[in-house]
Amino acid sequence: MLVSLYTTRVILHVLGETDYGVYNIVGSVVVSMVFIQNALMSATQRFLSYEIGLGEKGDVGKVFSSSLNLHCKFLAIIVVLLETIGLWFLNRVLDIPPDRMFAANIVYQFSILTFSLNLIRIPYNSIIISYESMNIYAILSIVEAILKLSIVIALKYLYSDKLVAYGVLVFVITFIINALYIFYCRRHYIKGNTYNIRGDKNVIKELRGFLGWNLLSGVAATAAYEGPNYFMNYYLGVTVNAAMGIAKQVSNAVYQFTSNFQSAFNPQIVKAYASKENGYLFDLINKTSLLSFYLLFIFAFPILLCADFIFELWLVDVPEYTVIFCLLMIISQLVSAISSPLWMVAHATGDIKQYQIVISTIHIMIIPSSYIILHNGLPPYYILIFQLFLNILIYAYRLWYAYVKIDFPVASYLREVVLKSIVLTLVIVPIPTILSLFANGFGQNLGVVCVSFIISSVVFFFCGLDFDTRNMVKGYIRKKMCH
């Protein structure tokens, strides 16, 4: 997280607000296709984890080969769309300064190459997560973060167009990381006859059917994430895009802790469903929801308290709306963190048609709302306030869906997860908040950050976790310290 945040600071300083805003909006054209990437990833992980959960009856190699085949086909379609409609959108619709248009087009092409490599990486990434080999996943993630930091520092000493150089170097790093993923997986998981690029027709058909409904949700989720960016660009220009880009970097960096944690537990949820261990499944959902919320809150709360000071110290020149964007995104992510395990339940069942239609409908509501908000001259952060409301609505629907599909004990969940999280949050908040009101200068704000971190950790550990979970956390910490 610290590497990612520092990287964002240096990029903003080296590129400047205008070029950083250009990179953010140009990249978002490519990222707008990420719904296919996310849909493919969740489908691949679901089917691989399900096959592993079947034990000897499963055929992991067949699913892997079929998913890779499907990824290659979708990649061809995406590249055609990006090089036609996407290119037109970049040059004819987006508000980019004329003197940066050539650089924007170069960055766009390298963004497509980077996206293509990330798409092909998905089956390899998914099989590592499905086998719960989180150590190698963490190591490669750290290597990637360090390499990105290295190129950002190197940008200071380059005399060429720094925006173009950054786009090229990001592609080079992605190529290196992809090669490492493929090398590791071929040595450990896809040896000999377990791999066949043609795949299995029946598995591909099943994957395609699951993927179809996943794509619907992916389109809506991407529209909800990137759509407001285009409205802000149209009404307010690239400076606000820069603020949104920084806020996304910070909130995503904070959420990365929870995301990595959930990646380790998601395969277990699918395997528990496949093996019909309902008692273990319900307990796993409750614990994953609680731990996800706790972990995110521990790191997010200090930022919420000292946001103005942290951003001024970190960026020096803070684009307008950056702080409020970041705060609202983090609050939304707290809701997403506690509800995410329920999303995996829906995927584990395989029957996702109704689920994806409802979730997609809720997500897409942000598009007309963004237009109405900005067209009527309201501040852009109203969009994120409405997004928070939609996240709460999605959470409620996920609970209902789990109750209907797997007879999930909602009343017990509300008592043991939601109520407990609210009560412990109310216990934690007062003291650090009062201290933050009187904090002035680096030393006092650092003290507030430390106090909030310590109080949150202690309260959640001793009051929020049961005996078995505390022992599990202790064992995990001891294991990491020994290594």
Tens of pLDDT along 45-55? 778 777 777 76
- Structure confidence at residue 28 as a pLDDT band (50, 70, 90): low
Q: C-alpha angle 448/145/20, rounded to 5°?
A: 80
Q: How distant, in Å, are the alpha carbons of 220, 257, 262, 306 from that of 448?
A: 39, 21, 28, 8
Please give the residue that has the higher pLDDT: either 65 or 454. 454
What's the alpha-carbon Rg for the chain, to the nearest Å? 22
Q: C-alpha angle 331/385/290, rounded to 5°?
A: 25
Phi–psi pair at 157, nearest 5 degrees: -105, 5
- Structure confidence at residue 454 as a pLDDT band (50, 70, 90): very high
Distance separating alpha carbons of residues 127 and 181, to the nearest angstrom? 10
- Structure confidence at residue 193 as a pLDDT band (50, 70, 90): very low
446 has a pLDDT exceeding 90: no
Q: How distant, in Å, are the alpha carbons of 237, 453, 470 from that of 461?
A: 45, 12, 7
| Cβ contacts of 460 within 8 Å, gap of 6 or more | 294, 297, 298, 424, 428
Least confident of 31-35, 206-210, 281-285, 389-393: 31-35
Distance separating alpha carbons of residues 339 and 321, to the nearest angstrom? 27
- Structure confidence at residue 483 as a pLDDT band (50, 70, 90): very low
> Would you state the pLDDT for residue 434?
92
- Structure confidence at residue 430 as a pLDDT band (50, 70, 90): very high
Least confident of 60-69, 402-411, 474-483: 474-483
Q: Which two tokens stand for residue 255?
A: 């959420």
Q: What is the DSSP string of 256-314?
A: HHHHHHHHHHHHHHHHHHHTT-HHHHHHHHHHHHHHHHHHHHHHHHHHHHSHHHHHHHH
Please give the residue that has the higher pLDDT: either 377 or 35. 377
Residue range 227-254: mean pLDDT, rounded: 82
**Can you tell me which residue has the tokens 């261990």?**
277
> Would you state the pLDDT for residue 200?
66
Distance separating alpha carbons of residues 160 and 229, to the nearest angstrom? 28
> Would you state the pLDDT for residue 400?
93
Distance separating alpha carbons of residues 104 and 242, to the nearest angstrom? 15
Q: Which helix (H) or strand (E) holds 322?
A: helix 322-349
pTM: predicted TM-score of the whole model, two decimal places? 0.70
**Can you tell me which residue has the tokens 């140009």?**
26
Q: How distant, in Å, are the alpha carbons of 147, 226, 243, 244 from that of 229?
A: 28, 5, 10, 8
Distance separating alpha carbons of residues 82 and 30, to the nearest angstrom? 7
Distance separating alpha carbons of residues 143 and 379, to the nearest angstrom? 39
Contact 31/222 with Cβ under 8 angstroms? Answer: yes
Please state the three-class secondary structure of 384-438 as a single string.
HHHHHHHHHHHHHHHHHHHHHHHCCCHHHHHHHHHHHHHHHHHHHCHHHHHHHHH
Distance separating alpha carbons of residues 258 and 52, to the nearest angstrom? 24
Q: Is 321 left (phi over 0), alpha (psi -120 to 50) or beta?
A: left
Question: DSSP assignment, residue 84?
Answer: I
Distance separating alpha carbons of residues 324 and 320, to the nearest angstrom? 9
> Would you state the pLDDT for residue 476?
54
- Average pLDDT of every residue of the chain: 81
Distance separating alpha carbons of residues 213 and 190, to the nearest angstrom? 28
Q: How distant, in Å, are the alpha carbons of 156, 229, 362, 475 from that of 115?
A: 25, 19, 27, 38
One-letter amino acid of 16: G
- Structure confidence at residue 252 as a pLDDT band (50, 70, 90): confident
Q: Which of 58-72, 132-146, 161-175, 247-261 is most confident?
A: 161-175
Q: What is the DSSP string of 27-57?
A: HHHHHTTHHHHHHHHHHHHHHHHHHHHTGGG
